[in-house]
Chain A
Amino acid sequence: MVQILDPTDERVPVKRELTPRPEAITGTVGFLDISKPRGNVLLDRLEVLFNERLPEVEVKRYAKPTFTKPAPEDLRRKIAEECGFVIEALAD
């Protein structure tokens, strides 16, 4: 991870442009549980709905080790390699 100092007047938030949104959901969708309580409950329910409405879409489940820190690099890379979409569950 490289860290740089913001050369601007900091009026605008640092942001990355969103990837263009696809027309339809296809392939594999990653469900990322950030490990806050009951996040899994939300994702379990979503998975049921996905299986009903989008049976051709594969769901893969992932979890962060702790909600207090960003997802580890390896986990992010794995999700990026395996999925076309990701849904992150905050819960609480």
Chain B
Amino acid sequence: MATETSLRPFTLSDAAGTDYSFPSGRPALLCVVHEECQTCALSMPLIEATHRAFGSAVDVWAIGQDSPGNTTLIERHNLTIPMLDDDALAVSFAYDLDTVPAIFLADGNGGELQSFIGFGKEDWQSVHAAMASLSGVAVPEVDWSAYPESRPGCGSRSVEPGIAERLIAESEGSPLRARRVEIGEQDDIHEFLYDQDLTDGLPVVPPTPERVLRMLGGTKRDAQEEVAVVPPNMAPVTVEKVAINAVMAGCKPEYLPVVLTAIEAMCTDEFNIHGVSATTMGATPMMLINGPIRDKIGLNYQLGALGPGHRANSAIGRAVRLVLRNVGGGKPGGTERSTLSNPAKLALCFAEWEERAPWDPYHVEHGFEPEDSVVTLFAATGGPTMIVDQASRDARQIGGTIGMAMEAVAHPKAHGASDTFLVLCPEHLDTLQTNGWTKDELRARIQEASSRPLRDLLQDEDSGAGIPIGRFGDDGPSEEQLDRLIPKFADPSSIHIVVAGSDAGKFSSVFQGWATGPRGSQIVSRKIEEA
């Protein structure tokens, strides 16, 4: 008989570990079955009888789709037929099965002679006749009256949701394992992504498998490596899931190491993204990038450093936010409860103009090497709040301006403040440098210029904010206490100073923090290992 197609060769083992390779040189009848399928149950006695009749001349094999079920079938039907284990579904997938039982009759070279799915009395009789002519062995006696004419089969395990995607990916050698979502031709893909609540309110780049694969080219890390567990849903996030959201945010592959490191930093106990996300104050991770990666991937730290228009800044900041909402489930109205929120929740990422200042850049100040590339996350609730001073001509003056302006952070009477970021513009930096000031000298001047006597900081008729007078006992504070000067910041080290912006313009800015410190959110800096 002429053969039209060749069946895919394979080697499978039975439960005892014996290998069976197809084709073996002998004709073969391959019977793919799944224990949970009623039509397979109906067919098993017939498959066993076929093995007993033709087994001496033909390889009559059962191929079971799950290991425990295979054992059950053997026990239930007292099988002597070899039961090959296709628990991994490699053969079922290679044979493109969508239905079991699936029966294939092949010649000694693996050429397909007959095949059918489900149960068909005539199909089986035809197979028996063909086997008899191939082998010279008589067809077995079967009580055909005990069988129905036909029964449809059941779904093959290889096409079950979740399994099919894995098998496709494995067969292609693909690193992708995320659930695939098909969007109909009549659907608008952007509307679909909105409908599924997967965007931040702006369009996203559809994360097709091709784009995600390209994105994964930006890292050497395994696509299935867990990067972090993302609050508030405490959802594990893999490199692949970060890559998907990075595609959506508009990232290039070379941004991915920055995004991955930022996610790791964000999901630490110290940073406490759950609280940052949930607070009514409207906090968001402000991302500061230091080191050589700034220029490698085109992060902006000069003109317009805090604004839009620069892909790396916008896309990296947005990718981190999308991971938080899509994987972590932090969405407005859910666990995210900001009163007013903040446009910075779309994306807030910038770099420091390290070369512009004579002092150490932020990451070196915090123990990293100059050649390290570092992500720093700060829980910002407000800013950039502008400090305008076009007239000061020396360091003391401009330091005074900055101190006075920074006193307004949160509330002028809210002294004892914690972490705050000052983004110093180059012209203000130059004014400080007329006297060669260090960062610590600027910090000291900020503390000096923002200091107020206690009497100005108490709750009073003009403003209920401030220090409660009851804190000083029944007699209230003494005159000496009332005169004592209190600086804005509890500790000068809470004043974080970076340089960014264009060379023209005397406008610095401040980002105020959320409840910073161990009881709220601590600043976290991490080296980008792949930079």
Contacts and interface: CB of A to CB of B under 8 A. Distances in A.
A11 to B, nearest CB: 7
A5 to B, nearest CB: 4
Contacts of A36: 152
Interface string B236-277: 110011001100100000000000000000000000000000
**The 9 A-B residue pairs with the shortest CB-CB distance in the complex, in nearest-first order:** A9-B235, A6-B179, A5-B178, A7-B326, A7-B244, A68-B98, A2-B183, A5-B244, A5-B207
A5 B208 contact: yes
Contacts of B212: 5
Given A6-B179, A9-B329, 20 more contacts: A2-B185, A3-B182, A3-B209, A4-B189, A4-B207, A4-B208, A5-B179, A5-B181, A5-B240, A6-B180, A6-B181, A7-B198, A7-B207, A8-B198, A8-B326, A9-B236, A9-B327, A9-B328, A14-B181, A14-B196
Contacts of B327: 7-9
Choose among A4, A68, A76 the residue with the greatest number of B CB atoms under 10 Å from its CB.
A4
A30 B311 CA distance: 49
Interface in B167-210: 176, 178-186, 189, 193, 195-196, 198, 206-209
B236 A10 contact: no
Interface in B79-104: 98-99
12 contacts: A1-B184, A3-B180, A3-B182, A3-B208, A4-B180, A4-B181, A4-B193, A5-B181, A6-B180, A7-B198, A7-B241, A9-B235
B169 to A, nearest CB: 11
B189 A68 contact: no
Interface of A: 1-11, 14, 16-17, 36-37, 68, 73, 76-77, 80, 92
A5 B233 contact: no
A17 B179 CA distance: 19
Given A7-B245, A9-B329, A14-B179, A68 B198 contact: no
A44 to B, nearest CB: 19
A92 B152 CA distance: 8
Contacts of B186: 76-77, 80
B208 A68 contact: no
Contacts, number: 84
B233 A9 contact: yes
Interface in B222-236: 230, 233, 235-236
B152 A7 contact: no
Contacts of A8: 198, 326-327
A6 B180 CA distance: 6
Interface in B307-326: 322, 326
A36 B248 CA distance: 40
Contacts of B328: 9
A1 B180 contact: no
Nearest to B326: A7
B195 A16 contact: yes
Nearest to B237: A9
Contact of B152 (A2, A16, A37, A73): A37
A6 B236 contact: no
Given A36-B152, A77-B186, A3 B233 contact: no
Interface string B420-455: 000000000000000000000000000000000000
Interface in B137-153: 150, 152
Given A7-B326, A8-B327, A68-B98, A1 B237 contact: no
A73 B235 CA distance: 36
Contact of A2 (B198, B208, B233, B237): B208
B329 A7 contact: no
Contacts of B152: 36-37, 92
A1 B179 contact: no
Contacts of A4: 180-181, 183, 189, 193, 206-209
Contacts of A80: 186
Nearest to A92: B152
A57 B12 CA distance: 57
A91 B241 CA distance: 39
Contacts of A5: 176, 178-181, 207-209, 212, 240, 244
B183 A1 contact: yes
A37 B233 CA distance: 45
A73 B208 CA distance: 21
Contacts of A92: 152
Nearest to A15: B196
